[in-house]
């Protein structure tokens, strides 16, 4: 069973504040960490140390809290330092940067590739011929086919050719 979540805080000097976290930082405990870090910043601290040496788990909510703290400190020329000895938690920080970038590149690459394929298909099926009222032309064509089939059933044959002189039908 993981250790129970606990925070301890220590104000080192006028600008430096240490927040030590024990246990798991997740969706339920991250707000407490966020509040502690926010209070330190509002209290005028510009250098904050987050000690994760006794932290057993860190999820995306906790990463969001830490990133938000970094942004707040940057706007005040401050700095966030993270102390960690757990390799699994260190991997969480590594994965955050590289893998998100690779995931985004793969996603948008796929979207662009699909768009290119769809454009090529659309262009290859477009003949460039513009017909006025294609619906009526299609209906007329179907009527001509039906009339030809009816005449064939009745045995009617109608073959005409233009005379060699070109002035009458034969």
pLDDT in tens, 26-50: 899 999 999 999 999 999 999 999 9
Please list, in sequence order, all residues whose beta carbon lies within 8 angstroms of the beta carbon of residue 21, skipping any fewer than 6 positions away: 5, 6, 7, 33, 50, 51, 52, 54, 55
Residue 14 within a domain:
yes
Question: Containing domain of residue 45, as a range?
Answer: 6-85
Bigger pLDDT: 163 vs 141: 141
Residue 22 within a domain:
yes
pLDDT at 169 over 90: no
Model pTM above 0.95: no
Residue 60 within a domain:
yes
Residue 128 within a domain:
no
Predicted pLDDT of residue 170: 55
The count of domains in the chain is: 1
**CATH number where 68 lies:** 3.30.750.24
d(CA 116, CA 73): 43
Confidence of residue 76 (pLDDT cuts 50, 70, 90): confident
């Amino acid at each position: 069973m993981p250790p129970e979540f606990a925070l301890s805080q220590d104000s080192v000097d006028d600008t430096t504040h240490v927040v030590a976290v024990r246990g798991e930082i997740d969706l339920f405990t991250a707000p407490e960490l966020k509040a502690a870090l926010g209070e330190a910043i509002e209290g005028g601290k510009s250098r904050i140390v987050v000690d994760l040496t006794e932290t057993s788990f860190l999820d995306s909510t906790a990463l969001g809290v830490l990133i938000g703290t970094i942004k707040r400190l940057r706007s005040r020329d401050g700095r966030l330092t993270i102390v960690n000895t757990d390799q699994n938690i260190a991997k969480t920080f590594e994965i955050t940067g590289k893998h998100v970038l690779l995931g985004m590149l793969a996603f948008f690459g796929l979207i662009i590739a699909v768009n290119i394929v769809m454009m090529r298909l659309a262009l290859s099926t477009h003949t460039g011929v513009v017909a006025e009222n294609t619906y009526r032309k299609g209906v007329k064509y179907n009527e001509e086919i039906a009339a030809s089939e009816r005449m064939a059933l009745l045995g009617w044959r109608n073959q005409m050719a233009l005379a060699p002189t070109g002035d009458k039908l034969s």
